[in-house]
């Protein structure tokens, strides 16, 4: 104590008098704001400008709302909006409570096998959506699905009960794909950072485990929940792969597939698609603003210098709970992976009863393709660059928004939401205009740099909000102690804050790499023959009708992202990136 006091006396008085918030240089904050404005606000401004630009019959141009009126008069738009919200609400009502319970059991109890099961949820998140959907179709197709054929063989019926091409099939595909897995990954770091003392007090007062979860844990972790809800809503509103494949047989179209149809028209109606894309942002503004208000108006600190963790004992429920969660984790990972791999060895995808159903020709075709090595190299460069640059940028943006008194921190935070609120194909178009209209950026067009920028922007909302959700849980006493001992802002940021949020930074880096490795929509307008990554190579095969070859590339993408996940988690363990100041008893 004497040493601390003497050290504090050696600090200049103006430093001791300053409030204990991050005194990040206003110039640096302004530089970050300008960077966000150039890379985010300017492209969005180009979209808005294009949506208001009207060409008269005589060729003259002016401004008006004609395109907006035409967009909202599109046939079937009202029904697609209704279908969108119906699908999103039902999916979230099932997936979000399930993810909360799973995250709580995996992080706050003594359930066995937690590390192994968590790996399965990572696998589920990394699996590319389109190949996985092909796996579920292989199982639940009403005519040739494996499960329907098995049902007819066992029970002697003429028709099986499963049909993936229905509304319930679409809901199932979303839940079994990444819906629950993604929410678990978003929520787990926040659950791990929570001090157990509040839960212990609740149990001492006689509350049950469920009562403690509902009345203590959920309110305390509300910022993380709101962020997860907002990100989930954005992803749900933009999701179109599942509906694009499963919707047409029953005429089920959603808002995103309507945008896709407009873009695919001849000629493409980018202006109308832009209006519909901007409508997504407008519809999400209340959620974004509410989350920002709540994050800054209440105290959600759950990690301090004396934080502890005491796992809740499940006693006789340990193995039943483990079995249930392990069964679900295996179902959403092992089953679609086996189907995906099986499809790569089929002569004709989904047809088991042809004369010669199995072959290795698709693997030989891909592995001998000269474009594979170039696409793999581009993917590694793009993914690793986006993960490193993006994580550092997201951390700085989140830090400014949560831990500083910079007057424009709200604008920095708000700008981080905009890229995720614009459909990927439209965001890619905006970036294309950006790199063609800004002279200093023109030399980078057609290079890997433009793809890295697109991938960083596509994940910025998820990355920033996940880091924010963990930063608002951190108490300031450890940073205050560092300042009292004479530590600079950079020293405190590097030695105190970064280790505390280390686990979530690894999560964000992995999510950014995985998103970059399978990204198609955001980079489709920016890809050339020289910078084409694996995801676009897979898309090209599938567009040409070679689903089997596309499945092979999908397997390679999964292997790549899972390998990076293992390496990153190993590096995190070697560096000791676990929440400091937290003891597990």
Residue 56 inside a domain? The answer is no
| Helix (H) / strand (E) containing 179 | none
Range of the domain at 359: 18-51+72-584
Residue 315 inside a domain? The answer is yes
Q: Can you read off the two tokens belonging to residue 502?
A: 């280390």
21-35, 165-179, 236-250: segment of lowest average pLDDT: 21-35
DSSP string of 352-395, one letter each residue: -SSSS-B-SHHHHHHHT-HHHHHHHHHHHHHHHHHHHHHHHHHH
**CATH, residue 480:** 1.10.3720.10
Arithmetic mean of pLDDT, 344-371: 81
pLDDT interval class at 5 (50, 70, 90) = very low
**Rounded CA separation 374/321 (Å):** 46
Cβ atoms of 268 and 544 within 8 Å: the answer is: no
Task: Provide the domain count of the chain.
Answer: 1
Kindly report, residue by residue over 142-180, the tens digit of the pLDDT. 887 888 888 988 888 888 889 999 999 999 998 888 889
17-21, 25-29, 141-145, 572-576: segment of lowest average pLDDT: 17-21
How many other CB atoms are there within 10 angstroms of residue 584's CB atom?
10
Residue 10 inside a domain? The answer is no
Three-state SS at 307: strand
Average pLDDT, the chain: 77
Arithmetic mean of pLDDT, 101-112: 88
Residue 313 inside a domain? The answer is yes
Arithmetic mean of pLDDT, 256-272: 75
- Residue in the block written with tokens 């969660």: 325
Residue 285 inside a domain? The answer is yes
Residue 3 inside a domain? The answer is no
pLDDT of residue 390: 93
Arithmetic mean of pLDDT, 445-467: 87
pLDDT interval class at 141 (50, 70, 90) = confident
| Helix (H) / strand (E) containing 558 | helix 547-574
- Residue in the block written with tokens 């984790």: 329
Per cent of the chain over pLDDT 90 is: 8
- Residue in the block written with tokens 């966000």: 36
**Rounded CA separation 244/239 (Å):** 9
Q: Pick from 374, 419, 373, 401: which is nearest to 512 by CA?
A: 419
Cβ atoms of 190 and 435 within 8 Å: the answer is: no
pLDDT interval class at 287 (50, 70, 90) = low
N-to-C CA span, the chain? 27
410 burial via Cβ count (<10 Å: 0-12, 13-18, 19+): middle
Residue 13 inside a domain? The answer is no
- Residue in the block written with tokens 């009345």: 215
Kindly report, residue by residue over 171-188, the tens digit of the pLDDT. 999 888 888 988 888 788
DSSP string of 274-291, one letter each residue: HHHHHHHHHHHHHHHHHH
pLDDT interval class at 320 (50, 70, 90) = very high
* DSSP β-ladder status, 307-309 and 582-584: parallel
pLDDT of residue 11: 40
Residue 8 inside a domain? The answer is no
SS3 content of the chain, % helix, strand, coil (to 5): 70, 5, 25
DSSP string of 74-110, one letter each residue: -TTHHHHHHHHHHHHHHHHHHHHHHHHHHHHHHHHB-
DSSP string of 402-438, one letter each residue: HH---TTHHHHHHHTTTGGGS-HHHHHHHHHHHHHHS
């Amino acid at each position: 104590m004497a040493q601390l006091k003497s050290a504090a006396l050696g600090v200049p008085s103006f430093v001791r008098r300053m409030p204990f918030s991050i005194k990040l240089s206003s110039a640096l904050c302004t530089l970050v704001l300008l960077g966000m404005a150039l890379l985010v606000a300017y492209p969005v401004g180009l979209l808005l400008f294009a949506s208001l630009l009207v060409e008269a019959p005589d060729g003259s141009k002016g401004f008006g709302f004609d395109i907006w009126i035409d967009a909202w008069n599109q046939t079937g738009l009202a029904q697609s909006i209704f279908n969108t919200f119906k699908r999103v609400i039902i999916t979230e009502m099932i997936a979000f409570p399930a993810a909360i319970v799973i995250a709580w059991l995996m992080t706050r109890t003594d359930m066995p096998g937690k590390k192994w099961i968590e790996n399965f949820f990572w696998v589920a998140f990394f699996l590319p959506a389109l190949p996985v959907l092909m796996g579920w179709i292989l199982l639940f197709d009403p005519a040739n699905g494996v499960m329907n054929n098995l049902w007819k063989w066992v029970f002697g019926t003429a028709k099986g009960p499963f049909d993936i091409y229905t509304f319930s099939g679409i809901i199932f595909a979303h839940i079994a794909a990444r819906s629950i897995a993604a929410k678990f990954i978003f929520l787990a770091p926040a659950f791990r950072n929570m001090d157990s003392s509040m839960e212990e007090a609740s149990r001492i007062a006689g509350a049950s485990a469920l009562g403690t979860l509902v009345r203590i844990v959920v309110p305390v972790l509300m910022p993380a929940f709101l962020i997860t809800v907002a990100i989930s809503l954005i992803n749900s509103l933009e999701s179109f792969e599942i509906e694009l494949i499963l919707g047409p047989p029953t005429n089920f179209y959603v808002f995103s597939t309507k945008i896709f149809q407009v873009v695919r028209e001849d000629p493409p109606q980018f202006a109308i698609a832009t209006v519909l894309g901007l409508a997504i942002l407008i519809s999400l503004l209340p959620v974004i603003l509410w989350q920002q208000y709540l994050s800054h108006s209440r105290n959600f600190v759950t990690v301090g210098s004396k934080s502890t963790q005491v796992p809740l004992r499940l006693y006789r429920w340990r193995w039943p709970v483990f079995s249930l969660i392990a069964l679900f984790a295996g179902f959403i990972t092992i089953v679609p992976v086996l189907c995906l791999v099986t499809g790569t060895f089929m002569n004709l995808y989904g047809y088991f009863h042809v004369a010669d159903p199995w072959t290795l020709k698709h693997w030989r075709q891909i592995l001998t393709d000269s474009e594979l090595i170039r696409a793999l190299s581009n993917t590694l460069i793009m993914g690793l660059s986006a993960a490193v640059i993006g994580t550092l940028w997201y951390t700085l943006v989140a830090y400014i928004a949560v831990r500083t008194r910079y007057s424009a921190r709200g604008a920095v935070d708000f700008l981080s939401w905009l890229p995720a609120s614009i459909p990927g194909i439209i965001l890619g178009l905006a970036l294309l205009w950006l790199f063609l209209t800004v002279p200093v950026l023109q030399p980078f067009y057609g290079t890997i740099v433009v793809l890295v920028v697109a991938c960083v922007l596509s994940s910025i909302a998820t990355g920033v909000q996940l880091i924010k959700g963990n930063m608002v849980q951190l108490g300031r006493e450890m940073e205050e102690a560092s300042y009292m001992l004479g530590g600079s802002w950079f020293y405190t940021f590097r030695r105190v804050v970064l280790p505390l949020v280390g686990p979530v930074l690894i999560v964000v880096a992995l999510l950014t790499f995985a998103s970059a490795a399978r990204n198609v929509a955001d980079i489709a307008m920016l890809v050339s023959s020289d910078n084409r990554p694996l995801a676009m190579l897979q898309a090209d095969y599938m567009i040409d009708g070679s689903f089997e070859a596309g499945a092979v590339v999908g397997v390679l993408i999964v292997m790549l992202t899972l390998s990076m996940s293992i390496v990153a988690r190993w590096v995190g363990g070697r560096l000791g990136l676990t929440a400091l100041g937290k003891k597990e008893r």
